[in-house]
């Protein structure tokens, strides 16, 4: 299967590394903002074509699908561009930074019937898969999720410590992971959502701290704390409080409430969540089915983010 990758930054490279572990996939073009650095990435990964034009990349012979790891503000328009070109598309989280744009992508995906998937990686991390399977089997019932998403940020840098051209966002990017995961693990819709945010950074123009509360129709609760002011430890830490046990997930590590390690190495074919979501994308294309984390499946998450965004906008007034 011939695919193209748009976004030659930190997460684009994560996808290129993941695809190397998956058989039968050939990346034939890489798209980036700056041609020189994009060509350098293409040479490193043996990709024959590099460009700054997504349309040129999509027009390469035999391309079946695209992965978008571009700036958030470009996701919706580029996803629609890929679908309009007749290509299956996986767009990195978030699908969009507005409800209007998220709905537009969902509508175009329905119209084309192509595979359209969003990189909600937490659905694929083995630690969260382990919990999900036990909830689905009736062995656990989620009562509460307590989540901390903490970074230290003063300038626009990516996960590799390199400068980037766009500004990250606690709500539309980082909260999207947890809002979707909570709904997925609670196995019911979110019926209440509240948010507060701290001061807006004078240079970055975004809130650096945020607190979110959610309740699912099942009665389960979620408390999410997010910060760009936290000076370590960094990352996202999930505490699952269930009726029959407590579990703490740190990416691909899982422990119980007494800090006993749980082996998740056999949950799936890899411990790499990005690789597992890419495998799901390619498998769904080959099998002609809807993937886990399809645009349709994750769309309710963006409705909740929209409601929270409206609340926060009202607080600013």
pTM score:
0.94
Q: Let me know whether 97 and 58 are in one domain.
A: yes
Assign residue 247 the CATH number of its domain: 3.30.360.10
Same domain? 258 vs 152: yes
For residue 249, tell me if it sits in a domain: yes
**Tens of pLDDT along 183-205?**
999 999 999 999 999 998 888 88
User: DSSP string covering 39-82, please?
Assistant: HHHHHHHT-S-EES-HHHHHTSTTEEEEEE-S-GGGHHHHHHHH
Q: Determine what percent of the chain is predicted with pLDDT higher than 90.
A: 88
pLDDT tens digits, one per residue of 220-259: 999 999 999 999 888 999 999 999 999 999 878 999 999 9
According to DSSP, the β-strands at 88-92 and 116-119 are parallel
Residues 150 and 254 in one domain: yes
Given a cut of 80, whether residue 178 has pLDDT beyond it is yes
Residue 197 in domain = yes
Same structural domain for residues 129 and 115?
A: no
Q: What is the pLDDT of residue 214?
A: 98
Domain co-membership, 162 together with 103: no
Asked if residue 46 and residue 90 are part of one domain, the reply reads yes
- Do residues 84 and 182 share a domain? no
User: Mean pLDDT in the chain?
Assistant: 95
The residue-averaged pLDDT of 258-274 equals 97
162 and 102 in one domain?
no
CA-to-CA distance for 138 and 88, rounded, in angstroms? 34
309 within some domain: no
Q: Do residues 217 and 278 both lie within one domain?
A: no
Burial class (CB in 10 A: 0-12, 13-18, 19+), 152: exposed
Beta bridge partners of 223: 146, 213
User: What is residue 113's predicted lDDT score, i.e. its pLDDT?
Assistant: 98
**Which residue carries 């009562």 as its tokens?**
143
Residues 224 and 140 in one domain: yes
Is 210 a member of any domain? yes
- Does residue 312 lie within any of the structural domains? no
- Tell me if 301 is assigned to some domain: no
226 vs 153, residue with greater confidence: 226
- Tally of domains in the chain: 2
Is 216 in the same domain as 255? yes
CB 188 within 8 A of CB 200: no
More confident call, 117 vs 160: 117
54-75 mean pLDDT: 97
| Mean pLDDT computed over 128-132 | 98
Q: What is the CATH number of the domain that holds 94?
A: 3.40.50.720
> Are residues 91 and 8 located together in one domain of the fold?
yes
Mean pLDDT of 108-116: 98
pLDDT score at 154: 77
Residue 108 falls within a domain, yes or no? yes
Q: Is residue 308 part of a domain?
A: no
Provide the pLDDT confidence category of residue 153 given band limits of 50, 70 and 90: confident
| Domain region containing 61 | 2-121+274-291
């Amino acid at each position: 299967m011939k695919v193209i990758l748009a976004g030659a930054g930190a997460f684009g490279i994560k996808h290129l590394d993941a695809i190397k572990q998956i058989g039968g996939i050939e990346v034939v073009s890489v798209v980036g903002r700056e041609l020189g650095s994009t060509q350098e990435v293409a040479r490193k990964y043996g990709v024959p074509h590099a460009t700054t034009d997504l349309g040129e990349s999509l027009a390469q012979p035999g391309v079946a699908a695209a992965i978008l790891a571009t700036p958030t503000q470009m996701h919706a328009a580029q996803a629609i561009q890929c679908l309009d070109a007749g290509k299956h598309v996986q767009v990195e989280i978030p699908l969009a930074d507005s409800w209007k744009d998220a709905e537009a992508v969902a509508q175009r995906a329905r119209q084309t019937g192509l595979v359209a998937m969003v990189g909600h990686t937490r659905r694929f991390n083995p630690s969260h898969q382990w919990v999900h399977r036990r909830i689905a089997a009736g062995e656990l019932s989620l009562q509460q999720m307590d989540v901390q998403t903490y970074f230290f940020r003063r300038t626009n840098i990516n996960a590799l410590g390199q400068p980037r051209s766009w500004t990250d966002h606690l709500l539309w990017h980082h909260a999207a992971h947890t809002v979707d995961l909570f709904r997925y693990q609670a196995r019911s819709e979110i019926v209440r959502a509240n948010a507060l945010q701290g001061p807006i950074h004078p240079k970055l123009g975004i809130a650096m701290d945020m607190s979110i509360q959610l309740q699912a129709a099942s009665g389960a609760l979620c408390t999410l704390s997010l910060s760009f002011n936290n000076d370590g430890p960094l990352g996202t830490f999930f505490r699952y409080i269930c009726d029959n046990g407590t579990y703490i997930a740190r990416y691909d590590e899982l422990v119980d409430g007494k800090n006993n390690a749980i082996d998740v190495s056999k949950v799936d074919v890899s411990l790499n969540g990005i690789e597992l979501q890419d495998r799901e994308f390619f498998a769904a294309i080959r099998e002609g089915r809807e993937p886990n984390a399809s645009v349709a499946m994750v769309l309710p998450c963006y409705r909740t983010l929209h409601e929270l965004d409206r609340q926060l906008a009202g607080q600013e007034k």
